Amino acid sequence: MRSHYVLLAATSLLCSLSGRAQVHNALDFDGIDDKVTVPGASALIANGSGITLTCWAYPTNAAPGFPDFDGFAGMRDEFTADFYLLQVSPANNLEARFRNSNGAYFTLEYSGLQLNTWQFLAFTYDGSQLTVYANGVNVATAPANGSITNTAVDLMIGDVYYQGTDFLLAGRTDEVSLWNRGLSQAEVNCIYTNGIDVNANGLQLYYKMDQGTGGGNNAGINSLLPSKGNINGALSGFALNGAASNFVESPDVGNNITAIICPGETYSFNGQQLSQPGVYGAAYDVGDVCDSIVTLTLANTVVNTQVSLADGVLTAQASTGSWQWLDCNWGFLPLPNANGQSYAPPVSGSYALLATQNGCSDTSACVNVAVTAVAENALGQVRIFPAPAKDHVQIDLGQPLGTVALTMNDVNGREVMRKNFSAVQTINLPLGHVEAGLYFIHLKTAVGEGVYRVVKE
Which of 233, 252, 271 represents a domain boundary (last residue)?
Answer: 252
Q: Looking at the structure, tell me whether residues 425 and 334 fall in a common domain.
A: no
Residue range 293-309, pLDDT digits in tens: 677 888 888 899 999 99
pLDDT at 388: 79
Q: C-alpha angle with apex 21: 18 to 24, nearest 5 degrees?
A: 110
* Of 324-328, 379-383, 415-419, 446-450, the least confident: 379-383
**CATH of residue 213:** 2.60.120.200
What's the pLDDT band for 418 if we cut at 50, 70, 90? very high
Confidence bin at 4 (pLDDT 50/70/90): very low
Give yes or no: residues 205 and 150 share one domain: yes
Residue ranges with strand state E in 301-391: 307-310, 313-316, 322-327, 333-334, 342-343, 349-357, 360-363, 367-369, 383-385
User: What is the count of structural domains for the chain?
Assistant: 3
Q: Choose one of 234, 252, 270: the last residue of a domain.
A: 252
Tell which wins on pLDDT, 281 or 328.
Answer: 328
Residues 44 and 106 in one domain: yes
- Say yes or no: 160 and 46 in one domain: yes
What does the pLDDT read at residue 375? Answer: 40
Does any domain span residue 171?
Answer: yes
Whether residue 113 sits in one domain with residue 234: yes
Domain contains 274: no
Instruction: Give the Cα separation of 269 and 48 in Å (integer).
Output: 42
Residue 291 has pLDDT above 70, yes or no: no
| Structural domain that includes position 432 | 383-456
Picking from 343, 369, 395, the residue at the C-terminal end of a domain is 369
**9 belongs to a structural domain:** no
Q: Judging by beta carbons within 10 Å of its beta carbon (0-12, 13-18, 19+), is residue 310 exposed, middle or buried?
A: exposed
Report yes or no on 152 lying in a domain.
yes
Res. 10 pLDDT band, cuts 50 70 90: very low
Give the pLDDT score at 19: 39
**pLDDT at 396 exceeding the cut of 60:** yes
Is there a single domain that holds both residue 207 and residue 315?
A: no
Supply the pLDDT for residue 14. 35
The backbone torsions φ and ψ at residue 193, rounded to the nearest 5 degrees and listed phi first, read -75, -30
Host H or E run for residue 429: strand 415-430
Mean pLDDT (the chain) is: 88
| Pair (82, 189) in one structural domain | yes
Instruction: Let me know if residue 16 belongs to a domain.
Output: no
pLDDT value for 312: 80
Q: For residues 442 and 241, what is the distance between their CA atoms, to the nearest angstrom?
A: 68
- Clarify whether residues 88 and 173 are in a common domain: yes
Give residue 292's pLDDT: 64
133-169 tens-digit pLDDT: 999 999 999 999 999 999 999 999 999 999 989 999 9
pLDDT band at 15 (very low <50, low <70, confident <90, very high): very low
Under the banding of pLDDT at 50, 70 and 90, the label for residue 372 is low
Q: Positive or negative, the Cα torsion across 60, 64, 67, 71?
A: positive
Taking CA atoms, 279 is separated from 69, 270, 296, 351, 454, in Å, by 36, 14, 6, 37, 50
**54 inside domain:** yes
pTM for the predicted model, two decimal places: 0.62
pLDDT tens across 16-73, in order? 333 344 568 999 999 999 999 999 999 999 999 899 999 999 999 999 999 999 999 9
Three-class DSSP category at 226: coil
Looking at residues 389-397, what average pLDDT do you find? 92
Are the C-beta atoms of 424 and 404 separated by less than 8 Å?
A: yes
185-242 pLDDT, tens digit each = 999 999 998 889 999 999 999 999 999 999 999 999 999 999 999 999 999 999 999 9
**Distance between CA atoms of residues 116 and 55, nearest Å:** 15
In this structure, is residue 4 part of a structural domain?
Answer: no
CATH of the domain at 400: 2.60.40.3080
Q: Place 378 in a pLDDT band, splitting at 50, 70 and 90.
A: low
Q: Which residue has the higher pLDDT, 251 or 206?
A: 206
Q: What's the angle, vertex CA 315, arms to CA 309 and CA 318, rounded to 5?
A: 130
